Structure 1
Amino acid sequence: MARLILFNKPFGVLSQFTDRGSPTSRPTLSDYIAVKGFYPAGRLDRDSEGLLLLCDDGRLQARIADPRFKLPKTYLVQVEGDPKDDQLERLRQGVELNDGPTRPAEVERIDDPRLWPRDPPIRVRKAIPDDWLRITIREGRNRQVRRMTAAVGLPTLRLVRWSVGDWTLEGIAPGDVTEISV
């Protein structure tokens, strides 16, 4: 039976166990996860937070990470600006990025999700509003959600992956892990 770790990755942590090639040491998964034999199933950018799955089974790892399986990934996204209906519709239809069009996304405006404080906090500009969106995609290109929101004129301020498939962050504090059998 495969084992899966659900990790609430804090802002600034690399989605790998070592930081090779950097002149300064940055936080990595090894600062939070002491269990050996687990590997990330996908990635989460250093400046993104939230659910990162790690597993001890290569087939399960590939199934989670491979876009062919279209596993839904849901993000809570704080964007700069006041999203207009046409911007949200463009995200729902799929947007053109420099590496081609995205698949359609599920997008809805949500109330402030009252997440944990981010360290460092996001920049706040009094003259420019911000809003929260829930975005679900079924692919996983590099920095895809950030590039999608930017393409429609809504730069991402904060990005938290809330769920992958049926696995969620529910009840997992930043930096904490939950191990389950699959």
Structure 2
Amino acid sequence: MRLIALNKPFGTICQFSPHETRQSLADWVKVPGVYPAGRLDSDSEGLLLLTDDGALQARIAEPKRKLVKRYWAQVEGEPDAAALAALERGVDLGDFVTQPCQTRIIAAPENLWPRNPPIRYRASIPTTWVEIAISEGKNRQVRRMTAAVGYPTLRLVRVAIGALDIFSLGLTPGESIDVPTNAPWQNTTHKHK
């Protein structure tokens, strides 16, 4: 059984098959027979786990397992307490209501790599970094959540899955490392308020 942690670069699609205009996982991971345990859309960056074991993939990706995924979202504007409370309660996105989550405003991360290309900069509109910890992971969920409360996401980085943190792993964009499959990081679950 094999488990690989990858710092997925911005613009990379979460598939191994070639794409006409974007890089794929095959550009970064040269290990045959592994596949993503969960996904990150091409505009999102950060920690992605890949495995060759279906049961392990299910333990990581299935929402019923309550494995926390922690994101840093750079949003347009300055979210107030009401917007953060709405995110934490759960947001009605039309096709589903998100589970309760944890949020907090954080300082602009100094340890975060620059994005290529950088996000658009507009001096008249401030941005804020928000940490969001969820235990589900539907398509573009964090982006849809922040937009629903009035603060669109400009940049989204998954920094942790369970107790596995991209910075403690020392991964720069495009780098990967093998992770022990029996590590205690899998037991970290999300506790709702």
Which of the five TM-score ranges fits, normalised by the shorter chain? over 0.9
CA deviation string 1:56-79 (max 9, x = no partner): 211001111111111100000100
CA distance in 1, matches of 2:50, 2:37: 5
Paired residue for 1:76? 72
Distance in 2 (alpha carbons) for counterparts of 1:107 and 1:52: 21
Structure 2 equivalent of residue 46 of structure 1: 42
The reply to whether residue 152 of structure 1 matches residue 149 of structure 2 is yes
Structure 1 vs Structure 2: percent identity of aligned residues? Answer: 55
Instruction: After the TM superposition, list the runs of 4 or more consecutive aligned residues in structure 1 that deviate by more than 6 angstroms.
Output: none
Cα distance, 1:26 vs structure 2:
1.7
Secondary structure (helix, strand or coil) at the match of 1:35 reads coil
Aligned partner of 1:102 in structure 2 is 98
Matched, 1:132 2:139: no
What is the distance in 2 between the residues matched to 1:85 and 1:14?
34
Q: How many residues align?
A: 178
SS at match of 1:173: coil
Cα deviation for residue 167 of structure 1 reads 1.4
Partner SS state of residue 112, structure 1 = coil
**CA–CA separation in structure 1 for the residues paired with 2:124 and 2:179:** 45
Q: Which residue of 1 aligns with 2:190?
A: none
- Per the alignment, residue 175 of structure 2 pairs with 176
Aligned partner of residue 16 in structure 2, secondary structure = coil
Matches within 5 A, 1:30-69: 30-69=26-65
Q: Superposition RMSD on alpha carbons, in Å? A: 1.0
1:147-182, CA deviations, whole angstroms, 9 ceiling, x for partnerless residues?
000000000000000011121211111100011221
SS of 1:83's partner is coil
TM-superposed CA distance for 1:82, in Å, is 0.8
Q: Which amino acid aligns with 2:11?
A: G
Q: TM-score, normalised by structure 1?
A: 0.95
Aligned AA (1:46)? S
Task: Name structure 1 gaps, 5 residues minimum.
Answer: none
CA distance in structure 1 between the partners assigned to 2:145 and 2:27 by the alignment: 31
- Equivalent position SS for 2:179: strand
Q: Distance in 2 between matches of 1:113 and 1:106?
A: 18
| Structure 2 unaligned blocks of 5 or more | 182-193
TM-score scaled by structure 2? 0.90
User: Which of 17, 23, 26 lines up with 1:27 in the alignment?
Assistant: 23
Distance 1:71 1:78 in 2: 23
Q: Which of 151, 162, 165 is 1:165 aligned to?
A: 162
